[in-house]
Structure 1
Amino acid sequence: MTSAIRMGVLALLWGSGFLWIKISLNEGLTPGWITFVRCLLGAAVLLALAFGAGQRLPRDRATWGRLAVAAFFCNALPFLLFSIGEQTVDSGVAGVLNATTPLWALLIGLALGSERPLSVPRLAGLGLGFAGVLLIFAPWSHGSGLMSWGALALLGASASYAVAFAYMARHLTGRGTAPLALSAAQLTTATGLSTPALAAGGAATVTWAGVLAVVVLGVFATGLTFHLNYRMIAEEGPTAAATVGYLLPVVSVTLGAVVLGEPLTARVVAGMAVVLVGVGLTRSNRTPPAGTEPRPVAPPSARDRLGTP
Structure 2
Amino acid sequence: MPLKNIKWIYLILLSLVWGSSFILIKKGLAGLSPLELGSFRIIFAALFLVMVGFKSLLKINRSQWRWIFLSAFLGSFFPVYLFAFAETEIDSAIASILNSTTPLMTLIFGILFFRIVFTQNKALGVIIGLLGTLGLIFSGAQVNPDQNYFYSGLVIVASACYAINVNIIKRYMHDISALGITTGNFLVLLIPSVIVLYFTGFSLGEVAVNPVLSRSLLYVLILGVVGTGIAMIIFNKLIQISDPVFSTSVTYTIPLVALGWGFLDGEVFSYLQLISALVILLGVFLVNRTKNLYTANKTTGL
TM-score, L = length of structure 1: 0.79
Find the aligned partners of 1:200 and 1:241 in 2 and give their Cα distance: 35
Equivalent-residue separation in structure 2 for 1:141 and 1:68 (angstroms): 37
2:271 to 259, 266, 284: 266
Give the letter aligned to residue 47 of structure 2.
A
The alpha-carbon deviation at position 35 of structure 1 amounts to 1.5
Q: In the aligned structure 2, how far is the partner of 1:247 from the partner of 1:216?
A: 21
Alignment match, 1:253: 259
Structure 2 residue 96 is the aligned partner of structure 1 residue 91: no
Contact 2:15 2:250 in 1 (8 A): yes
How far, CA to CA, are the matches of 1:244 and 1:151 in structure 2?
19
Give ranges in structure 1 of 5+ residues lacking alignment: 297-309
Contact 1:31–1:83, Cα closer than 8 Å, also in 2: yes
Tell whether 2:19 aligns with 1:15.
Answer: yes
1:182 to 2:181 alignment: yes
State the shift of 1:242 in Å.
Answer: 6.7
2:222 matched to 1:223?
Answer: no
How big is the shift at 1:271?
1.5
| Residues 109-118 or 263-272, more deviating | 109-118
Instruction: Encode CA deviations 1:86-127: one digit per residue, 9 max, x unaligned.
Output: 1101000111111101111111122226122332x2222111
Matched, 1:30 2:33: yes
Q: Is 1:126 the counterpart of 2:131 in the alignment? A: no
Q: 1:6: how far off?
A: 7.0
Q: 1:216 to 1:111 in 2, by over 3 A?
A: same
- What whole-Å deviation, never above 9, does each CA across 1:2-51 have from its counterpart, x for those lacking one? 9898765432211111111111112x211222222212222233333325
In structure 1, distance between residues paired with 2:280 and 2:66: 35
CA displacement at 1:180 relative to structure 2: 0.9
Structure 2 CA distance for partners of 1:148 and 1:284, relative to 1, 3 Å: same
* Secondary structure of the structure 1 residue equivalent to 2:56: coil
User: SS of the counterpart of 2:187?
Assistant: helix
Separation in 1 of the partners of 2:10 and 2:172? Answer: 30
Distance 1:106 1:294 in 2: 20
Q: Percent identity?
A: 26
Equivalent residues, number: 286
C-alpha change, 1:140 and 1:251, in structure 2 (3 Å) is closer
CA positional deviation for 1:264: 1.9
Distance 1:271 1:294, change over 3 A: farther
- The answer to whether the Cα contact below 8 Å between 1:102 and 1:162 also exists between their aligned partners in 2 is yes
Provide the C-alpha distance between the structure 2 equivalents of 1:95 and 1:140, rounded to a whole number of angstroms: 13
Change (3 A) 1:243 1:79: closer
Q: Which amino acid aligns with 1:186?
A: N
The 5-angstrom pairing of residues 205-216 of structure 1 reads 206=207, 207-216=213-222
Query: Which segments of 5 or more consecutive residues in structure 2 lack a partner in the other structure?
Result: 208-212
